[in-house]
Structure 1
């Protein structure tokens, strides 16, 4: 069979599934059974596809079929393309069927003390066993994905006075305030204290994550300016491990008190006066089938936060007054 001289053709998803099933089963009859069609139908569809392509994809033999070099090349790509196509089709279906609980619940979460537990909580709240969790520290991206139904809900972090505008139909309830800890080299003079004031860090060299859409850097600089100084950010590291190495060598950094970044050679101390605290919140769409479960989820997430935070070595310095840190702010 020679190559066709016509223009480029477009594959249909059903054709990709056909090729994948034949390649996986190595036999037209078994492929037909896997696809839920007759063996003659599979044979006819394969012949038609090969004619369209101008290449033979499988060699027929007494034991079944064997992919040709062109078939092997196509199979390698089909194996990577089909999961993306399935994800796209599921995404389209979930965004168009507004009033039905989706087959797969898609949950977003930032890195926090509750990130590992939110999938199970959502599954329990709506009696669904299939939950997909996407961990992403970009709050703006998570809110956009909730807004256009690529996510059903998201657990996010916000900073007081620096909250993001919300997409239409999206609501956010903040349920916990989380203190901030400062990370110091073990031998640092401030490591001898249980609580460190933000103003005490005015002469330090800082290592922070690069500026992103979270607005944390705006929050930090405004908080430091109110105390009469500007933090000297000498290192920017996207990697937590790299940041910790810089701290070991003399810089200071910041961490969540509820789930601090602990490592050998580094001291973790609470920042005093609630400096640089953040809010944990849940975002969802008002017209989502999960909206009715949002209030219960908020309560469960609050309980999970306290459960996880009790493992923090800083807990005794701030967690003894729950009402001081529990929030109920909806916008």
Structure 2
């Protein structure tokens, strides 16, 4: 037999509720209908999925095994059905505006700003640090908008119909042990780090590592990346133990034992970029949204302990760089 989405929703609802009546309420059908559907499903697959008793329904070992898979599969099915629905209604306004974003100083503000720009819209935000995946999702209509980061000279190729605008460029900060000799300076030059042991995120689609190694090569050295770490907490532990790392200057301060200093001469600066489809709803509000994002950026940046070191000339950090796919 084959499962359909209705079967998956039934099993998931009973598993979450632990009770047929509560599962029925969640599904919007009657309790006898839930009981009948479950019995029919169990008969079809040849296994009992839930043991019914006076206080509820408990999954059998087979039920537990199925629930684990349902929890993984059902969100994918829901996303697929939503994607199909929105593709077949391309000319209609989407019920939910789907926004993707990488981690940044403005990630907590973008959902509200999009909702404000598109009056009456419900906004769902997905955080994902894979830039290529976010751009692809905008291109094939799984996202309506993405807020990403790019690096000067290492921008990404764009899917068909996708437009991007870089609206801010911000500097990079160095994280180092509080008692490190370089911590006595307000600004640290990239060449000062040539003999340090580094901890960075693993190589990903952002192209940052290409940018870093090319920049350091121009200065005559290769960064000594000893540690690779995705966890911010673990990175900070390694920094307290003697490594150095990099961070967005616009991010909040870090924990005890760590000094955060500005990297000089705009070395390794990054661009904040908005990506959307030219044939989508966001295209009509993109200019206003970019303006609001600039304001939000400065509001959030003031939380950074380095704020005063790079905002003496705020205009130099604001951009208006737009591009679309390169014609082949």
- TM-score normalised to the size of structure 2? 0.85
Kept in 1, the 8 Å contact 2:101–2:148? The answer is yes
Q: How far does residue 94 in structure 1 lie from its aligned partner after superposition?
A: 2.2
Q: Select which of 67, 75, 93 maps to 1:76.
A: 67
SS at match of 1:258: coil
Q: Say what the alpha-carbon RMSD is for the aligned residues.
A: 3.0
Whole-angstrom distance in 1 between the partners of 2:147 and 2:67: 36
- Residues 117-140 of structure 1: CA distance to partner in whole angstroms, max 9, x if unpaired? 111111111124532211111111
Matched, 1:241 2:211: no
Distance of aligned partners of 1:252 and 1:105 in 2 relative to their CA distance in 1, 3 Å threshold: same
Which has the higher Rg, Structure 1 or Structure 2?
A: 1
Kept in 2, the 8 Å contact 1:98–1:289? The answer is no
Q: Select which of 255, 266, 289 maps to 1:297.
A: 289
Structure 2 residues not aligned, in runs of 5+: 324-328
Whole-angstrom distance in 2 between the partners of 1:64 and 1:207: 53
Distance of aligned partners of 1:99 and 1:225 in 2 relative to their CA distance in 1, 3 Å threshold: same
Partner of 1:120: 112
- Residues 173-217 of structure 1: CA distance to partner in whole angstroms, max 9, x if unpaired? 000001011112111222111111112222222211111111111
Whole-angstrom distance in 2 between the partners of 1:83 and 1:281: 28
Kept in 2, the 8 Å contact 1:32–1:42? The answer is no
Partner of 1:223: 215
Task: Give runs of aligned pairs for residues 25-36 of structure 1, distance below 5 A.
Answer: 26=20, 31=24, 35=28
Kept in 2, the 8 Å contact 1:143–1:283? The answer is yes
- TM-score normalised to the size of structure 1? 0.84
Matched, 1:213 2:205: yes
Aligned residues: 320
Structure 1 residues not aligned, in runs of 5+: 1-8
Partner of 1:149: 141
Q: Select which of 204, 221, 237 maps to 2:196.
A: 204
Task: Give runs of aligned pairs for residues 131-170 of structure 1, distance below 5 A.
Answer: 131-170=123-162
Partner of 1:310: 302
Matched, 1:188 2:180: yes
Whole-angstrom distance in 2 between the partners of 1:70 and 1:246: 43
Whole-angstrom distance in 2 between the partners of 1:167 and 1:282: 14
Task: Give runs of aligned pairs for residues 246-285 of structure 1, distance below 5 A.
Answer: 246-260=238-252, 262-285=254-277
Whole-angstrom distance in 2 between the partners of 1:189 and 1:46: 68
Whole-angstrom distance in 1 between the partners of 2:252 and 2:231: 15
Whole-angstrom distance in 1 between the partners of 2:255 and 2:31: 60
Q: How far does residue 83 in structure 1 lie from its aligned partner after superposition?
A: 4.2
Whole-angstrom distance in 1 between the partners of 2:120 and 2:112: 10
